[in-house]
Structures are given as C-alpha cells and as structure tokens.
Structure 1
C-alpha cells in the first residue's frame, strides 16, 4: 500500500537515531479490571490462502480479556525474530534488532478469566503491520470489560509466527488490490467469529454474541467496513485513519471515523468525504490535531521513549489516550447502550479533537 509505505518512511525518519533503552513500555490501561491475554492458532480448512493457494488459510489471534485477579507477570510484545523483521520493514535498522521484544505490556499471559460474559471487539492492523501494533488499545478495552480479538492476517504483515516455528513475512506488500485485501480480511473475521462462538469453544462462555464490534487501523479500517457488510453479527465499527477502499454503501449500523486533520479535506487520501454520505446509521467523523497516520497505534509512544516527541506532533502517550477514550466511548454507547457525551461534541478534556461531522 503506497500510502502506508509513505507513512512508514515518514515514521522512520522522524525520530533521531539513538540506542534503544533496555525496556520500552506501553501505557497502563485506564479501566478498573486486570487484563489477561492468550494466543490461539486457527486454520480455515474450507478456504485456500489468497496469497499462498497451496496452503489453507492460517491465522494467529491474540485474545485480551478481563482477568480474575491482578497479574504478576506480563506477556511479551513480540519475539526477537518478529522484532527484527518489523524494524527492518520500518527501516529502523539503527536500533538493536530485538528492541521491540523488550516492550513491557500490561496483560498476564494465560491469566484466569474473570466472571461474566463480555462484548467482543475484533481488531485488524494496518497493512504490513502485526496485530501487536494495537496492543495498547486492546489492553485498555479489556481493562474496561471487553474481550478483544486481534488478528494477524498471514502474509500481509512483516512477521507472523506460527506454533510450528514458521515465520510468515509480507508477501503482498506491493499489491494494488486494496479492496481485495479488505474483503479477504472480512472473510478472516467471519471465520474467527465462527470459531470463537462455536459451541465447543472455550471462549463462548466469555463472549456475548449479541454485542460484537470491529475496528482497525489503516486498511484494517477498510476491513471493518467490508466485514460489517458481509456479517450482520457485527453491530458497530470504527476506522482509525484508514482509507475507505471498500465503499460503505448500505452500511446502516453505527460507525466511527477517527483520524488526522488531513482526512477532512475533499479528495483527501482516505476518501472519507465520498464515503460519509453512504453511512446511513449513527456516525461520527472525528479528527485529532497534531497526529499522523501512525498516531493511533503503539509505535509513536514507543518511539517517543527513545528519541523524544517529534516537534509539532502530539505525544504518542497523548494520542494513545485519545484513541482509547473515543474508541471506548463509541463501544460503550453502541454495545452497552450507555450515555457517552464525549461523542456529542467538543470536550475540554481533549481540545485536540474536532468533530468534522456529526451524523
């Protein structure tokens, strides 16, 4: 994806060269609940992989959830090999290859789940990026009482490690078929929902099947549109600075667009002006001053810990706070039917945020 690759290059040149600190860390979740995380491997025997047709479609999924008690150890962010491949893909070869594997997360690996059934949120990362890039958002939502499923779409990421040790790299990063990628991800999402909600699934007892949402960053946002069009189980969706490669025609359920200031420009890169009238349900178009394409995922917060905040840009910690607050308010409103005035207009808590349109 040319737009994302351009953003990758901008990200890689923004922070000055410096050795990575011994430990990087994600912001603590803001909700009251401790968080657990586990990883599961899924294979769709009914479908060939769109990029490697000789193989069945294989997916790695991380599940974050409210834990029964405070966690004492935290899960790794990525493996050293994944870190190396991600940093190479981001052109950050001046840092130690294992730098991202030192990131301290906040979720306990395989922690015992807490009681109750929870709304489910599916997350899809940006093109070439791994599911781990949305860890901060996933942890925060889980701390607020959501189960969150982050999907790695094989061969669309710099690095995906399977249980047998195979590491799939990005085979299709030069494709121009962005709508095809988004629709393929929609098929991945429906398959994951089938497996999580299956009668034999260990997760069935933790998930309320009537309260499901999906969100994504970059092309993951386009995938949220495609998935909602294909699967009525998804009640609400959000797009974090992603181009609407799949027009949202006929999408009559709640949808949130959250992105950079440039997204409101007519004819802008993300085509939100064209897609906006096609969203016929509840909708909001929210922009955040001082942000770039990567501001809605983990990496700017980690980069700031190495080289400081880039002049003129919102800090990674602040953009993380804003992303989590607005995503959670949206989900609370539409999956839990709770009043969330944050979505009704400007807030003194977040002066960086502008409502470009109210639906």
Structure 2
C-alpha cells in the first residue's frame, strides 16, 4: 500500500470514529472527517486570531466576469450506493460561467457546510464558520451569460471534500470563457446543503472504511455515472439550466481532484462526449479500456513527492502506459495532496498546515496548467506552456517515462 493510500486509510479510520454506528442510520447526523483532509484534525483545536482579516479566494485571471448558478439534480433511474433508501441519486451542482454583467456576489458555502468542514478539522469557532461561508468570491448569482457558446468542464472534488473547495479553479476557468459544472456527490462530503433544509454528510466514509478501500472503483464508477447524468441534464433536449444554450456540447472536458480526478477515466471510457480529462493528484482505481480512451488527451497533474514516475503511487505508471492520445505527466515541487484545491488558502487562514508551496502559488500553478490543457484540447489553441519546463513556473516538472 503506497503512502497516499495509507493516508487515505488512516483518514477513513478517522471517519469511522467521527461517524459512529449510531450516526450512520441518519445521513444528516454527525460530521464525517473528509479523507482528503487526513491528519489536519489533530493539529489545532482553536483557530488563531486574525483580527479583521477577511477570508478571500484569489481573483480570477481571465477577461470575463463570472456568473454562478446552483442546481439540484436527482437521477431517479439509479439507486444511491451509500444510502439505498434515498429517493434516487442526488447531486448539487454549481455552474460558473462567463458573465455579461456584474451582480450580487455568490457565497462561498452555506453556514452548515462551513460548520461541518471546521468540525472535520477540529476547529471550534462560530465566527470562523460565518467567515468561511461568506468568503469573498468573484461570481455573481444567476446573471446573464456572456454572448456565444462556451466549452463545458465538469469538476469533481476529492473524497469527503465539497465542490466549493474547487471554487478558485472554477471561477478562473469561467473567467477564461468556460462553463464549469462543479459537482457535490451525495453522502460523499463533510457536509452538503440540499433543498428542504437537509445537510447530507459522509456516509460513504464509513462504507469505504469498512471495506478498506477495496471498493475504490465503486466511488469512481458512481462519480462517472454522476458526470454523465449531469451532461444529459445540461446538454439534452430539456436542459435543467436556464442558460444551457450558452454551452457548446461539442467541446466537453472533465477534471477533478484526488478520487474526483481518477473518476475522469471511467467517465471518459463510458461517454464519448467527454473530449479531454485531468486528474489532479488522484490514485487511479480503474483499468483503461483497450483503446486507451480512444486517443483522447489526458493530463496527470500531481504532487512531486507522490506522483513522480519513481513515486509510491504506481497507478500513474500503469495508466500512463495505456493512454493512447496526447498525454502529459506533470508534478509540482513542494505541493501537497490538497495543493490543487482551495485548501491552501482555507488552511492558511485557519492556522493549519497546507504544504510547502505558498497558497497563492499553488492556486496559480493549478489554474495555469489546467487552463492551458483545456485551451489546447477543447479550443484548439496551441499552448507552449505544455511543451516543457517554463521559467515562470519553476515548480512544475515534466515527465516522459
């Protein structure tokens, strides 16, 4: 078992402690420690005093303003794998998109979501709960999209992590001209608010703890089905989003962090609509089809410590060999597992460790390379950044094993 898998197993044991047997009967009872926040819960019990400093995400770098809409989608053709008695498979989806005008800023998270996140890392501070929920974002609620049709990117977060932890990447892609659908997969997060005053927590953490992650492909396969369902609801004949006509359904990508990134492989294998995929620091749980995703491009972007070719996660070596299209294997020096999400910004504010790469730098590197990959492979715009080492990004190492 490699180091990342050992960390996941330890975190899942923490899930079992945080979500005892008595709590598992109710999807909304008791917080669960997200597996991708492993090790943080033992660091502090009270966050440091930051005075009047306001928590804010890094500003987007593209030319467009950004809009934001939230959808609640239910696939009643499927049984939820974690809570079979649920009324179908539920998803919460945030759409970030190029906006035509400014408007009321979207909130970062609900207060319930923020409270459960802080409980997961053992930070007890009601003022911080409000601060996280109201962190400065750069998207306006339900404003009209910018003219034209834009490529679509689906984002899936790490196991136990909520979709809002990918806000910085989503907003940046939207500011560059993409529609971005960030997914919360029911019962797989520290806490996700659903309509009707419900907050669903990580029942899946207990299931995966009990199985020792022998059911890893159940997570990725379920998320692949979730992504395909969202594509149906956004690009089908009767779309769920009122601005769906702004989506160019002929140009679709999928990216994710950790298990969310690994889920891009089964999603692409099952759905030819997805033209390009990105895995940010996730262990693969699925075998590539014989055609290697049919020649479609794929980006591996990970922490150098774990995901260099000689690193402990050998699933990258196996997957790399099977990919048949344009492929990129990049690692980021001094980044940790959470460094491809909003976590460095959040954790710095909470006084928790987040890796050796500065928070703003971690966000900037992730944004630059994910955007370059999709610009080249969804828009056909050649990106020299993908050709090899770049002096403006000295942390990034290219591998061609």
Q: TM-score, length-normalised on structure 2?
A: 0.84
8 A Cα contact 2:76 2:89, kept in partner: yes
Unaligned runs of 5+ in 2: 12-34
**Is residue 2:63 matched to residue 1:19?**
no
**Is residue 2:329 matched to residue 1:285?**
yes
State the partner residue of 1:3: 7
Residues 178-228 of structure 1: CA deviation (Å, up to 9, x unaligned): 111000000011110001012222343111111000000000011111100
Aligned-pair distance for 1:112?
1.5
State the partner residue of 1:321: 364
Q: Which has the higher mean CA deviation after the structures are superposed, 2-11 or 327-336?
A: 2-11
1:288, 1:21 → 2: CA distance? 33
Paired residue secondary structure (1:47): coil
Aligned-pair distance for 1:270?
5.9
Unaligned runs of 5+ in 1: none
Aligned-pair distance for 1:61?
0.4
State the partner residue of 1:89: 120
State the partner residue of 1:36: 67
Paired residue secondary structure (1:151): strand
Residues 3-48 of structure 1: CA deviation (Å, up to 9, x unaligned): 3437523445678941355520000000010000010011112111
Q: Which has the higher mean CA deviation after the structures are superposed, 243-252 or 342-351?
A: 243-252
State the partner residue of 1:190: 228
Change (3 A) 1:161 1:240: same
Paired residue secondary structure (1:46): coil
Match of 2:105 among 53, 74, 85: 74
CA RMSD after TM alignment: 2.1
2:36, 2:186 → 1: CA distance? 21
- 1:221-260 matched pairs, under 5 angstroms: 221-249=261-289, 250-251=292-293, 252-260=295-303
Paired residue secondary structure (1:327): helix
8 A Cα contact 1:189 1:227, kept in partner: yes
State the partner residue of 1:159: 191
**Is residue 2:298 matched to residue 1:269?**
no
State the partner residue of 1:181: 219
1:2, 1:220 → 2: CA distance? 18
1:242, 1:192 → 2: CA distance? 22
Q: Which has the higher mean CA deviation after the structures are superposed, 337-346 or 201-210?
A: 201-210
**Is residue 2:392 matched to residue 1:345?**
no
8 A Cα contact 2:309 2:399, kept in partner: no
Aligned-pair distance for 1:273?
1.4
State the partner residue of 2:244: 204
Paired residue secondary structure (1:126): coil
Aligned-pair distance for 1:278?
0.9
Q: How many residues align?
A: 356
Q: Which has the higher mean CA deviation after the structures are superposed, 261-270 or 90-99?
A: 90-99
Aligned-pair distance for 1:357?
2.1
Aligned-pair distance for 1:304?
2.4
Paired residue secondary structure (1:173): helix
2:379, 2:74 → 1: CA distance? 31
Paired residue secondary structure (2:78): strand
Change (3 A) 1:267 1:144: closer
**Is residue 2:160 matched to residue 1:128?**
yes
**Is residue 2:115 matched to residue 1:104?**
no
1:222, 1:273 → 2: CA distance? 14
Change (3 A) 1:130 1:306: closer
Q: TM-score, length-normalised on structure 1?
A: 0.93
Residues 232-287 of structure 1: CA deviation (Å, up to 9, x unaligned): 10000000100111133422310000011121143613621122101111100001
8 A Cα contact 2:107 2:136, kept in partner: yes
2:134, 2:48 → 1: CA distance? 16
State the partner residue of 2:19: none
8 A Cα contact 1:27 1:136, kept in partner: yes
